[in-house]
Each structure stands twice: as structure tokens, then as C-alpha cells.
Amino acid sequence: MAEDADPARRSIGARRNPDSAEAILQAAETVLVEAGYAGFSIEAVARRARAGKPTIYRWWPSKAALLLEVYQRQKRVDVPDTGRLEEDLVGFLKNLFAHWRETSSGSVFRSLIAEAQSDETAAAALADYSLGRRSHTAQIIERAKARGEIPAEIDSAVVADLIASFAWRHLLTNRLDEDEATIGKAVNYVMRGIAAPAS
């Protein structure tokens, strides 16, 4: 079997061919919808995309890496910018919980976290993804620093980890219907620890 079954979309080595990559990602999304996480495989994606497995593994070194990119393509979570850190964090968590709850992304990400506990390649892919998300969430904290809302010495990455821990716990225990009051209480406890002292 040729490395790329579709001659119209030739591989161009380690650099992704945009047409082939898009076909593979669309195929991965379709397989995930039809077969679920348990039935998802590189073989099934290759058949659907009319692509060779070597091409897929060249661009995505593991099933987890491919699934994480699919997850990122589907993720649509608005990050509020209200001018108040507490409101921004509550709004972000509400939007994230709703996205996980109302789309298939919640179950996909939960399964990826579970697989990462026993699969080194999945763990590595998840760790890389988490670093990027940590930096993204930390930007919310940095905005508050720039406004003088919290002290400059606050470690934004640690605060981002606290917010992520709250979110992941609710994802893994399937408690994504948490009410706004409870989310607000958790964020308020974080705020008490990092807020600038009253002048």
C-alpha cells in the first residue's frame, strides 16, 4: 500500500501537507463521532482519510496527540474580559464547564486524562498541551496585575494551576453542572489569597 492512498495529496515529508492534514483531522473527527473514544484508532482514521498510517504517525506521534489536536479544533470557550479578575475567572469556568458538558469534548478529554495514567505517549502529549493551557489561563491573571488588581509578585502560573485543578476535578467526577454560586465561592477563596491588600 502506498504511503498516501490518495495521489492528489502527496506527503511532503515532516512538513505537513495542508490538504492531507485537513483530511486526516476531519476523518479523525468523524471516526470519533461514529465510534467514540473506545473505537478510535489510527487505522480507522487512515481508512477514512485515504491516507497512509506512516504519514499520520509522522505528523502526530500517537493517537493521543491526534486526539488532542481534534479536541483543540473543537474547543470554543470564551474568556471574559470584564475588568475584574473574579468575574473573569467565574465566567471562564462557567463557559468551560458548559463546553465540556454540551459537546463531546468533555468525554474525549476525560478519556485522554485516563489514558495518560498508563500510557507514556499519552502522558507526554497531555503534559505538552497542559503547559500551553496553563500559559493561556495565566494571561487572565497577568491582565489583573497590569490593572493593579493583584500584586505583581503573584505567580500567575500557580494561580492558573489552582483554577485548572478545580476544573479538572469537576470534569473527572462528572460534576459539570455545578451552579454559578459554587463556582463563585471557589474563585472567591482563590481571590482572598492573591488580592492586593486594601490601601
Last residue of a domain, one of 10, 32, 59: 59
pLDDT of residue 1: 34
Residue 179 inside a domain? The answer is: yes
Residues 98 and 147 in one domain: yes
Residues 125 and 165 in one domain: yes
Residues 95 and 35 in one domain: no
Residue 159 inside a domain? The answer is: yes
Range of the domain at 55: 18-59
Q: What is the CATH number of the domain that holds 114?
A: 1.10.357.10
**What average pLDDT does the segment 7-27 reach?**
72
| pLDDT, tens digit, 9 for 90 and up, residues 19-58 | 899 999 999 999 998 998 889 999 999 999 999 999 999 9
The overall pTM is greater than 0.85: no
Residues 93 and 188 in one domain: yes
pLDDT at 169 over 50: yes
CA separation for the pair 51, 37 (Å, rounded)? 20
Structurally, the chain folds into a number of domains equal to 2
Residues 48 and 96 in one domain: no
- 143-146 long-range contacts, Cβ below 8 Å, gap at least 24? 143/81, 143/85, 143/88, 144/85, 144/88
Distances from the Cα of 106 to the Cα of 20, 42, 97, 109, angstroms: 27, 21, 8, 5
Residue 65 inside a domain? The answer is: no
pLDDT of residue 74: 85
Give the range among 16-30, 87-101, 158-172 with minimum mean pLDDT: 16-30
Angle at 123 between CA 101 and CA 52, to 5 degrees: 90
Residue 24 inside a domain? The answer is: yes
Q: What is the CATH number of the domain that holds 46?
A: 1.10.10.60
- Confidence class of residue 14 from pLDDT cuts 50, 70 and 90? low
Residues 103 and 146 in one domain: yes
- For residue 112, what is the DSSP state? H
Residue 39 inside a domain? The answer is: yes
Residues 90 and 46 in one domain: no
